[in-house]
DNA sequence: ACCATACGGAACTGTTTTAGTACTGTTTAG
DNA sequence: CTAAACAGTACTAAAACAGTTCCGTATGGT
């Protein structure tokens, strides 16, 4: 359904929060309370992020987690890779086996990969730092083909974007 | 997990096949056999496509389906909209309720919407006609921000794209 | 007029994925 | 030594998907 999983969503929240105080150590408990999530859930996410070297963990009393790199160097693609089980890609390539490639010669796969590339790049272009700052560098990605005027930040345009044709 | 559903995948296959003979009428049975899918499944997909005016149906003996418009005017976003239940968007906006917006001021949502826009545009830029033709107009979508040189079209780079940094 | 063919729609079922929990172990500051 | 906090594994419940079945309706050919 073309959605990121909730865990990935939480991951962005968690990292964004940590990025607001990059120097401090954040315990899973603290993050859970601040973000209104369950401690085990937060813990699970942090572990996965740790395995992918996005955060460092410090065990023991008064331990916690810290960003492993400056927030500018962590982007959405990193988070997705860390938290989504399956490897990145919109399709499993049109049915896995060679079922499809009979007649169309399956140019389709090439085209899906091209789309994947664009999507991935969109994710790479937004860093955790961008997520908490107004919208600096990330603004670059909107200029590609946006037609309408920029929606007001407070506007409740939740999921559905403007839809041409 | 950032995948399109199988039904959507089938939809692209079906429409691509139909686009290879836009003038003919294609029955669900014929399409199923050609593509190696189950008839009921193909039927389900075609029904959804019909509801969204991507195909026209002709009932009765020797009936079938035909593209409702030239294949250049049907793009991936159309197919996704027709076949995915939930409205387009990578996030349900960072946990639905206002759980997140406490501390970060939730710039996050804005940024997700920006990413959504890029993704959607990538889908809109590829038509069914592009899917079966070598790769003409679709090539345009790669130029947005490609840094490296274009990968060779035939390269078997299945799901994981090049990963900088 | 009849009937075989083919689409239309709703509902149902089994499977897979996901989210969240529980439990047990390990590390370390005080 | 002990309490706080991370690490890992396994499990359970719920939701989403995929695919199927059944019955209804339309239509072209005989």
- 3-state SS assignment for residue B127: strand
The predicted pLDDT at position A129 comes to 93
Q: Kindly determine whether residue B102 and residue A35, on different chains, have CB atoms separated by under 8 Å.
A: yes
Instruction: Give A-chain residues touching B135 at CB under 8 angstroms.
Output: 107, 110-111, 114
pLDDT (tens digit, 9 = 90+) per residue, B100-145?
Answer: 445 455 677 778 888 888 889 989 999 999 988 765 544 444 444 3
Q: Kindly determine whether residue B90 and residue A5, on different chains, have CB atoms separated by under 8 Å.
A: no
Q: Is a pLDDT exceeding 50 seen at residue A52?
A: yes
Nucleotides of D under 7 A from a protein CB: 3-9, 16-22, 25-29
**Would you place residue A135 in the very low, low, confident or very high pLDDT band (cuts 50, 70, 90)?**
low
Neighbours of A44 (CB within 10 A): 15
Q: Is a pLDDT exceeding 70 seen at residue A73?
A: yes
Q: Kindly determine whether residue A119 and residue B122, on different chains, have CB atoms separated by under 8 Å.
A: yes
Tokens for A8, please give them: 């990935």
Q: Is a pLDDT exceeding 50 seen at residue A146?
A: no
CA A150 to C1' C14, whole Å? 46
Measured CA to CA, the distance from residue A39 to residue A31 in angstroms comes to 8
CA B38 to C1' C14, whole Å? 17
Q: Kindly determine whether residue A107 and residue B80, on different chains, have CB atoms separated by under 8 Å.
A: no
A1 touches strand C (CB under 7 A): no
Owner of token pair 């937004």: A126
For Cα atoms B71, B75, B79, give the angle at the middle one, nearest 5 degrees.
105
pLDDT (tens digit, 9 = 90+) per residue, B62-86?
Answer: 899 999 999 999 999 999 999 987 8
Instruction: Give A-chain residues touching B92 at CB under 8 angstroms.
Output: 3, 9, 158-159
The predicted pLDDT at position B48 comes to 96
Q: Are A146 and B116 in contact (CB under 8 A)?
A: no
Which range is least confidently modeled, A22-26, B55-59, B149-153? Answer: B149-153
**Would you place residue A99 in the very low, low, confident or very high pLDDT band (cuts 50, 70, 90)?**
very low
The predicted pLDDT at position A139 comes to 44
Tokens for B11, please give them: 């939809």
Q: Are B152 and B126 in contact (CB under 8 A)?
A: no
Q: Which residues pair with B26 in a beta bridge?
A: B65
Q: Would strands A55-58 and B55-58 be described as parallel, antiparallel, or unpaired? A: unpaired
pTM: 0.80
Give the residue, B79 or B94, on which the prediction is more confident.
B79
Measured CA to CA, the distance from residue B165 to residue B162 in angstroms comes to 10
Q: Is a pLDDT exceeding 70 seen at residue A44?
A: yes
The predicted pLDDT at position A76 comes to 93
Measured CA to CA, the distance from residue B65 to residue B59 in angstroms comes to 9
Could you tell me if residue A160 is left (phi over 0), alpha (psi between -120 and 50 degrees) or otherwise beta? beta
Report CA torsion sign: A76, A82, A85, A87. positive
Q: Is a pLDDT exceeding 70 seen at residue B2?
A: yes
């Amino acid at each position: 359904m073309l959605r990121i999983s909730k865990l990935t969503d939480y991951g962005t929240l968690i990292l964004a929060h940590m990025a607001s105080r990059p120097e401090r150590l954040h315990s899973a408990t603290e993050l859970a309370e601040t973000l209104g999530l369950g401690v085990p859930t937060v813990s699970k996410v942090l572990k996965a992020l740790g395995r992918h070297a996005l955060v460092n963990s410090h065990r023991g009393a008064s331990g916690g987690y810290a960003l492993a790199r400056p927030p500018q160097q962590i982007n959405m693609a990193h988070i997705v890779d860390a938290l989504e089980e399956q490897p990145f890609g919109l399709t499993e390539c049109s049915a896995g086996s060679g079922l499809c490639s009979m007649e169309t010669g399956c140019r389709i796969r090439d085209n899906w990969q091209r789309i994947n590339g664009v999507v991935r790049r969109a994710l790479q272009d937004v860093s955790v730092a961008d997520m908490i700052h107004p919208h600096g560098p990330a603004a670059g990605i909107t200029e590609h083909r946006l037609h309408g005027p920029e929606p007001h930040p407070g506007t409740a345009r939740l999921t559905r974007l403007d839809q041409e044709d």
